[in-house]
Structure 1
Amino acid sequence: MGPGGGFPHGDWERDIQGISDWLVTEALGRVQVRPLLAGFCDSLNAAGLPIVRAISALSTLHPMYVAHTYTYVRGQGNVTSDIPHGAHNTDAWQRSPLKPMFDNDMTECRYDLTDPKQVAPYPLLAEAQGLGGTDYLGILTPFQSDEELPDGVQHLDGLMTSWVTDREGGFSAKHLRALRRLVPRLALAAKMAKREETALNIVTAYMGRDAGCRVLSGQIKLGDGEVIPSVIWYSDMRNSTELCEVLDHADYLAALNQYFACSAGAVMEAGGEVLRFVGDAVLAIFPIGDGGYSPEEACAKALEAAWRAEAKLVEANALRRDGGLMELDFGLGLHVGEVMYGNIGVPARVEFSVTGPAANEVARLEGLTKETGHRVVVSSRFSDNLDLPWRSLGMYRLRGVAEEQEIFAPPSAH
């Protein structure tokens, strides 16, 4: 990945212009940051600007991470890592060579890696020195002006980069001019990649990955969707009214999120798609067919998630007992059927979800968990897909369904 057209040409100005043009072209396409950084660094090396290591930290809008980092080492490619929220309080940041740049509201810093006094306070500089580094340049390219930032926040959104050369004597004057010219263009391309990633992060967090990808690909109008066969999961927290009455708002939300960690968390770990949180209920699917699982695989994954949810519940309740808190419980129904997977609502406010008789039936099925005294119950359509020692709970008529159905309880987890 990098400039084409016979690059490098052996002409410094022409090669730097070629890298600049390539960055703009990448910004206009569907760019990804990791190969972009690798291609940029390889191109600099080919043009005669030796880069032995480069690190880019790109801020992101994500519920768990404040930024993604991309580390390039010449001859080794690059690796990525995530910076969690609150990382500015860690020892690693306190000892970062870039911290003084932030503290002094600067956009550039430089260290002579041949000077032991400059290297000593910063472990990252010692690592760069170990790669043969002679010079270090840090550049911050903000995506917002100071006027656009909230009071007390500096450079909330942007690309932070560091560049290490192993050239004897460090970066030359023309090397520094080239980096100062090109890094903003690199930041532009990274910003465009970030916008796509941010959109995906948001829709994934609020809608689930599959539904979010469908929306981003254009399924946004009321009625857009398709009929798909799925295993349908519907779980509901028990005694939620009692919990709501005895707990204050914050403690109730904490309990609710603990339950969701057990139920929805288990679904996601098993490869399912959480579609909605309906009050204190979880609606999820394990798609069958194109792009999904076989019926047997989908049922096996859903049952694995059910067992995992019960195991998580045991762990959560142990912690709650230790804290003198009321224990949690839930009921779960598992069913197989065709559902309408798409946008419902009104033209100006739509929601991506599943509808149809099978979706209604699984909610009715979950209601039988209290009546039967079993936390997990499944329909015969579900149990027929797995050769297991199911326990029949008898024939039941689900509300709104004409025919009686045989209901089963699954065996315990192995």
Structure 2
Amino acid sequence: MDAVTELSRWMMTEGRRSGDPVKVVSRFCTELIAAGVPLWRVNIGQRFANPLLIAWGVVWTPESTESYDVTHDVMLTDSYVGSSFEYILAHRRPLHKSLRGLDPEADHISYHEFAEAGGTDYYATLLYYGDESMHGCTFVTQSDSGFTAENLQMIEASLPGLSCALEPVTMRKSSRSLLRTYLGDGPSDAVWNGSIKRGERTSLEAVVMFTDLRGFTALSDRASEEEVFETLNTYFDAVVQAVEEAGGDVLKFMGDGILSIFSVADGSSRAGQCRQAARAAQEALSGLARVNGTRAETGRPPLDIGIGINAGRVSYGNIGSPGRLDFTVLGAAVNLASRIEGLTKSTGHSVLASTAVAAAAPDLFASCGYHSVRGISDPIEVFCLRGPGA
């Protein structure tokens, strides 16, 4: 067991400090092999505290070591139901199973896949963390003799060291993924780094895009809660995907409104970000058209949105009370984007932009004349996005 002692020492020192799960798992597996454990495939699964992702992990084979993510949807499929991960987490005990003589009907498909690839024996067990959470790991061998009792003893003896190395990685990944889920990439990085505290703000040049769902109040009054949530989620999916693929950050959901920004920083230009915002708006409309095609098949009315785009200086940061903060973006440029979006109702155009945006991308926009907006004494010129549906 001297090899396990040395491996544990490395895990609790250099491995823990590395913050690199691929490096940690690779070292874990190679050291166990050197100690006589005949590993062929190892999967170290880590559970997430995240509404979008439920787990992540690292798979080791002699050829490569790779990380992966697991969404909540996977937990409802045959990939998880009936698997060893489900078993050990439900029963809170290890599972040792021969891969020879499997039952075609009763045994999980993963066992058959490993057996077909040459696997002979399988072991699944648990990692325990300081917050009382449990995580799973599986081991497969191609050895003719399978895993011996001594092999399994060495694996179990090395798991506390592995937990010590991976727990801080898991905690950091969970925290960062939560921030990214609720704040977007740019703002989450700023909050994580501690560069934006309560009351502090960052001023920057940005293109602001405000999106609103038409007829939401009427939908809320006549539809069930389930339908309202399903409708919002499909609408959010279309817009968020379009914004993120164009390099923007979705900062906030406000009822049925979506506030997004395209920061002019790190070498990007205002003209370039105006074009990206226009691209996002067009893609959002295309995505919504696909949603409406599906809705039409089930006899539901189409969804309609309005999008307002403006460019200028904005300030973002944390605001709120000492015990509860909200990350938001403020400024005249944000207000005008919202008010321009409001004009889509009367102009008949789904996407409208300010002069600041149209001047930066004149080939993408056409003038829709001058219109009065609340808070500005003189009418302003607004521009519609060229192209179908805009």
TM-score (norm 2): 0.88
What secondary structure, in the 3-state scheme, does the structure 1 residue paired with 2:329 have? Answer: strand
> Relative to structure 1, is the Cα distance of residues 366 and 31 closer, same or farther in structure 2, using a 3 angstrom cutoff?
same
Q: How does 1:1-400 map to 2 (within 5 A)?
A: 13=2, 15-25=3-13, 28-29=16-17, 31-74=19-62, 76-85=63-72, 87-94=74-81, 96-97=83-84, 101=88, 105-113=91-99, 115-116=100-101, 121-129=107-115, 132-143=118-129, 157-167=133-143, 169-219=145-195, 221-290=197-266, 293-388=268-363, 390-400=365-375
Whole-Å separation in 2 of the counterparts to 1:404 and 1:333: 16
Determine the C-alpha separation between the residues in 1 that align with 2:130 and 2:364. 61
Structure 2 residue matching 1:116: 3-state secondary structure: coil
Instruction: Report if aligned partners of 1:111, 1:136 keep a CA contact under 8 Å in 2.
Output: yes
- How far residue 143 of structure 1 moved from its aligned partner, in angstroms, is 4.0
The 1:196–1:27 alpha-carbon spacing in structure 2 relative to 1, beyond 3 Å, is farther
Asked whether the 8 Å contact 1:392–1:407 carries over to 2, the reply is: yes
Structure-2 separation of matches of 1:303 and 1:166: 55
3-state SS of paired residue (1:377): strand
Aligned-pair CA distance for 1:381: 1.1
- In structure 2, the gaps of 5 or more residues are none
The structure-2 alpha-carbon separation of the partners of 1:173 and 1:221, relative to structure 1 and needing over 3 Å to count, comes to same
Q: 1:371 to 1:106 in 2, by over 3 A?
A: closer
SS of the equivalent of 1:221 reads coil
Of the structure 1 ranges 81-90 and 216-225, higher mean CA displacement relative to structure 2 is found in 81-90
The answer to which of 26-35 and 380-389 deviates more is 26-35
What's the counterpart of residue 9 of structure 1? Answer: none
Tell me how far apart the structure 2 counterparts of residues 397 and 99 of structure 1 sit (CA, whole Å). Answer: 60
Superposed displacement of residue 355, structure 1: 0.7
Secondary structure class of the residue paired with 2:206: strand
- How far does the alpha carbon of each residue in 1:134-158 deviate from its partner, in whole angstroms, 9 at most, with x for none? 443221234489xx7xxxxxxxx42
Amino acid at match of 2:69: D
Q: Distance in 1 between matches of 2:299 and 2:313?
A: 44
1:286/1:293 contact within 8 Å kept: no
Moved more, 203-212 or 43-52: 43-52
- Shift of residue 234 of structure 1? 0.7
* 1:91 partner letter: D
AA in 1 matched with 2:50? H
Instruction: Name the CA distance, whole Å, in 2 between partners of 1:256 and 1:61.
Output: 23
Distance 1:94 1:332, change over 3 A: closer
- The 1:231/1:245 distance shift into structure 2, 3 A limit, reads same
Question: Following TM superposition, by how much is the alpha carbon of 1:411 offset from its aligned partner in structure 2, in angstroms?
Answer: 0.8
Q: Which amino acid aligns with 1:116?
A: G
**2: CA distance, partners of 1:204 / 1:27:** 26
- The one-letter code sitting in structure 2 at the alignment partner of 1:261 is D
Give the Cα separation in 1 of the matches to 2:66 and 2:298.
41
Offset at 1:117? 5.0
Percent of aligned positions that are identical:
29
Q: What SS is found at the alignment partner of 2:198?
A: coil
**What's the secondary structure of 2:294's corresponding residue?**
helix
Q: Is the 8 A contact 1:395 1:405 kept in 2?
A: yes
**What amino acid is the match of 1:79?**
E
C-alpha contact (below 8 Å) 1:97/1:125 kept by paired residues: no
Across the two proteins, how many residue pairs are aligned to each other?
388
CA deviation vs aligned residue, 1:215-239 (integer Å, no higher than 9, x gap):
1211452222311111100112222
Distance (Å, rounded) in 1 between the aligned partners of 2:56 and 2:251:
27
Deviations 1:35-58 (A, max 9, x none): 321232123234443322111221
**CA RMSD across the alignment:** 2.9
In the aligned structure 2, how far is the partner of 1:245 from the partner of 1:111?
A: 55
Residue 27 of structure 1 deviates from its aligned partner by 6.4
1:318 and 1:94 mapped to 2: Cα distance? Answer: 33
Contact 1:376-1:409 at 8 Å conserved across structures: yes
Return the offset for 1:131: 5.4
Contact 2:206 2:262 in 1 (8 A): yes
Tell me if the contact between 1:64 and 1:85 (Cα under 8 Å) persists in the aligned partners.
yes
Runs of 4+ in 1 over 6 A off after TM superposition: none
